Chain A
């Protein structure tokens, strides 16, 4: 390694630092430290003046390491790194020392000690800077094609969005027809449009699009590789079909719970789920004059605590459709909390009341009871508002059940190395801010595969996932994190702990010279350091935070 030539820039930050920490003393102090060939102070190092001072000093003093002692890397690291880069220095040869937040601000009342601590931190920073190594962000080429798993409305919309941006899309659907759950749906909320019609329009668009390759009666068997380069092996009607894609969207939807054993379901003839009712109505079969719907069957109960999100609306929609076609029919919805959130749902709920749909609130403690033999005849329910038990005549009992994770979820989760949540739905990278992404780069999720959604929400998510998937495809490359981990294969014992712990699935045991050793995929590694901390044989180096660098800092402090 070339002899380090460190330049140190200490910032006054106006009086933010300067009034409490003796900046000129720090500069003089830094000048005396090993390998420091230049030290100066700036009123504001981040100002144009300060930045050009850094660039000038790099050239004039032939600096090959830069230390700035100022505020926080959170806001300013990129700026100073860029300054180094512009002066021809690898940006990872820059080290940040925070003497504002950690010295002048917190030790305002003890300026002497604040100065002393700032000196310590600068000494540590320089000690580390001397050992810094240049790092490169590698660019990984991206195959400009995507895989969409699931050919329901959500999957089709995602595929169309990408295809219209001129990317090849492989749409894999396990059934022999596209359309997913919507194929079983009668009419759609709000517009009362027939679901079949909607599917038909979409299917035509998908089938006629030259960029979309539809694989029906197909299942993705194997997916290997990483963002930009996934090798996909699809079982298409018994035949192997292989292709390479840059990104993947999971849109496998969900299934409707069949509440066997509850409210006579499976035993009594006139007990249906909402999904079965849809089919019933689609076929134009009679529903009777007295229809009772029970919400939250199998949902918001101790064994399945979650709310199905769209079930209330499904019940209200079907109740309204019945009332619209037969105003004389009596429809009761027995519900707990009614989840008609937002503008349209709440409005639709009010309209249903105007149509004459009766809403009766029940509590979990006193659920409705079924009366009848072989067939439901009446429903007994404690009416919370009337505060007494009532009995309702019942020609048809409709159970509103939540969506539950699709059967395939487990397999796909394993194949793609993405996680499921505690309910069995796919687990997003972050519940709040990364709802359609997985922790695994290049793989995205949308629709009811993640959480129950209606068409409107599902389609919005389809676009969202498509936007994420399109990013790398449009750019043609992805930049991998330069600060990553690497394995010393001689030291590695192949215990596999790192593979187990890696939150990004970047580590894999590989057979090398007759033994298993860890291998870090630098395209996937995020440089979190978990593996390095866990490695029992010290075989993993976390670049930019190497043991040598950190120990040098520790030694600079205590040594």
Chain B
């Protein structure tokens, strides 16, 4: 990009508001190459923030948008938005300029501005475009009509942790994202975010083994986040029933899912969201699989499960219960009737002990026992119960037996505590409930008395060399036999898949009887037949089953679309902190204790099947969630939700500053206006009194594209005000602040009063002013119209202070009416302050450009008469508000004028 390329001279325009755009377009129309630099992500400037413009009441955006499009599509204009001028050297005719393009962290060549990423972003930030009255996300489009319409990530610092939780999670749930939302009390959004990767947030929030918590980087500093328990907070604090059902375009493909467990339902969920018709066939009378019949109610209440399954049904999934494939319908028939079939029947078969006396009544198989208990069938539990096994199922059987009336429950496990597959916290909880555990013990037979079970003969074990599973092999100690008196035995030895029904199609099976699949896609050896969950892996965790279901759904969707099966890229291993990082983070983030979830006291909990874990209160949940390291920073937390959603793969977290060097012949400064900080004007209570706002805030609140979609409502009570007062010269014409007149506020206030009336006819507006400065074409007539048709009253007088009426939070204005000399008070429902405006150019930028500023900070123009747009540096011109307080037509005129001067200067005229 050099000056004079193709014989063309070029000009740099700094500032992409209406003035900068106009200069650019005029210069481009004169054949110059123009580089338009704008520090915001979009051109448009202040005018884009306005609802309407005086005195025509044209919608600002309607007349601005064509200009933006013209600037964007003009072959002679290069837009450099989100960029700033770094350096200017040289002189008129040959300036050398360095521009710094700030990283948007989005590849704008790929970004289509669709905004899907924005919806998903969990980080909410005050929106500068809405002057703080609205919010935006950390990834955002500057405003709805932005040009270029591209996304920007507001990434201010690096995420302080590695987000190892996401990598550790089998479904890669966006943990930092939902913790951020919970910390901010955004429960619905949090639920939706979790649900993006997991259709069972409330369920998994109770029963997950939480590999995320083991990986949580905060665990390397103090304690990991209680990620699992936090996952249930959204559904505890907000009713899932209110979750809206998305509308999805239907395809004409039909999928049968066999088994309504976590794998089957997760797949059904994802397939339904893709528009396919899904029928789930479930052998049991109720859906849920192991979630329903394997996990006791005190850990997972049925109602919760039912709600989350209910939502999947709302998505259009048809669940048929009591249908057993192989008995009621053949797999072959299903294969013929549906376009694809997903096998997710789980592993519900119990394992036999293989010892003498196993058939004596009173000896039961664990998984069957839990199933019967869950479904409310009659189960005979005696007083003295022994449970055989060391897994979570054994613990669940023991605790269930306790709740069904057992006096004494003993778990018999053949290895020691260290080898127990059950999670340690479950074991401890069980022991608290009074359950005994006999370690290093194995049953070798049962004895009956009066045809009833009376004793279990056991032998003590010792640990030997590691076996195939890596655990020490238990070896019986000869002569250590003993008998435990029991009347009930529950053998929880593990579950097996029951897969006889697939044989007719020749599905290949492992030696264990599980179905063999391609581990990356879930495809079986039979085309169109997929499998996942326990039926493939053998008994595993809920979240693994969900992951398997989702994986299969992805493959099935690809299969139905006739695409090759393309597995998801494998996740990276959860990362740990380095030593240096640990030290650094410990300094930055002082240790904070975990907030533990409350539980029912032991005495109460064993009486029935009430839920043990009570969940967090709102405050506890927010407190715990706010410990997440990722959430400690401002702006983007790099949860990568946008990356996951972005279809054109435009997100680039590693983007860096880019320097662009340009040779230009002339420069135009059009950086526009800033808003004067009026907080020192305490007499008007801005920032303290809720119903006192600034004119620009008013503008955003009435703008159809603003945060309230144009609904002007008071902050205190949400009421639409019908009696509004406008106070002029707030900071302007005031020797304590800005002595000059901001030039546009009189007309601006009049326009806003008209808008208020248009929004709600009848609204009364009162404008307190010193001089009503309406000097442009049709301005006086505009004011006459405001008085006549829009119920606007003008009162000459400068208000001294504002009080609040405590009854209704109305601001009360005390003022001296200059025409009568009386001190009066005026009660309004809303007060709008005409905040002074200031030139938007920092001393640093002025220095960079090499132009002088006057005492008020406007760009200095040494010859006001014949060279009114020239700055102190030859070849650099100024226009718009940064030049002098100007309304839009004057700014546009100056902009064209500056373009004319630049053309003249380049031609050699001085």
Contacts and interface: CB of A to CB of B under 8 A. Distances in A.
Interface of A: 13-16, 18-22, 43-44, 46-48, 74-75, 78, 108-111, 115, 157, 160-161, 164-166, 188, 190-191, 193, 198, 201-202, 300, 305-307, 309, 337-347, 350, 363, 384-385, 387, 421, 423, 425, 430-436, 450-451, 455-457, 459-468, 470-471, 474-475
Residue of A78, A165, A305, A471 with most chain B CB atoms under a 10 A cut-off? A471
Given A305-B781, A460-B868, 15 more contacts: A19-B249, A43-B647, A44-B114, A111-B247, A191-B864, A346-B741, A384-B818, A384-B819, A431-B889, A432-B63, A433-B67, A436-B896, A456-B864, A463-B901, A470-B903
Interface string B843-858: 0000000000010101
B740 A347 contact: yes
A387 B820 contact: yes
A74 B897 contact: no
Contacts of B67: 433
B892 A307 contact: no
Nearest 9 Cβ contacts at the A-B interface: A164-B909, A467-B900, A464-B896, A463-B897, A463-B900, A471-B29, A343-B740, A464-B897, A337-B771
A366 to B, nearest CB: 11
Interface stretch (B53-61, B281-289, B705-713): B53-61
Contacts of B909: 160-161, 164-165
Contact of B894 (A300, A340, A460): A460
Contacts of A384: 818-819
Contacts of B784: 305
A464 B893 contact: yes
Given A14-B647, A350-B739, A157 B112 contact: no
B348 to A, nearest CB: 37
A460 B69 contact: no
Interface of B: 18, 22, 26-27, 29-31, 53, 55-56, 58, 63, 65, 67, 69, 73, 109-110, 112, 114, 116, 149, 246-251, 647-648, 733, 739-741, 743, 771-781, 784, 818-821, 854, 856, 858, 864-866, 868-869, 884-886, 888-890, 892-901, 903-904, 907-909
B737 to A, nearest CB: 13
A470 B906 CA distance: 13
A46 B896 contact: no
Nearest to A198: B865
Given A435-B889, A467-B896, A165 B907 contact: yes
Residue of B248, B739, B893, B904 with most chain A CB atoms under a 10 A cut-off? B893
Mostly, the B contact residues are loop
B29 A475 contact: yes
Contacts of A305: 780-781, 784
A467 B899 contact: yes
17 contacts: A14-B114, A14-B648, A16-B114, A18-B249, A22-B250, A191-B865, A300-B780, A306-B777, A309-B775, A341-B773, A423-B777, A432-B889, A436-B896, A459-B897, A460-B894, A464-B899, A466-B900
A145 B889 CA distance: 27
Contacts of A455: 865-866
B907 A164 contact: yes
A467 B821 CA distance: 51
A431 B247 contact: no
A452 to B, nearest CB: 8
Contacts of B868: 456-457, 459-460
B248 A111 contact: yes
Contacts of B773: 337, 339-341
B30 A470 contact: yes
Residue of A15, A350, A431 with most chain B CB atoms under a 10 A cut-off? A431
Nearest to B115: A16
B30 A48 contact: no
Contact of A166 (B109, B110, B884, B907): B907
A20 B249 contact: yes
A48 B884 contact: no
Contacts of A110: 247
Nearest to B55: A431
A157 B900 CA distance: 11
B63 A433 contact: yes
A423 B778 CA distance: 9
Nearest to B772: A337
A450 B868 CA distance: 19
A132 to B, nearest CB: 22
Contacts of A188: 865
A335 to B, nearest CB: 9
Contacts of B858: 343
Contact of A15 (B116, B776, B865): B116
A456 B879 CA distance: 13
Contacts of B864: 190-191, 344, 456
Contacts of B29: 471, 475
A539 B389 CA distance: 95
A411 B2 CA distance: 48
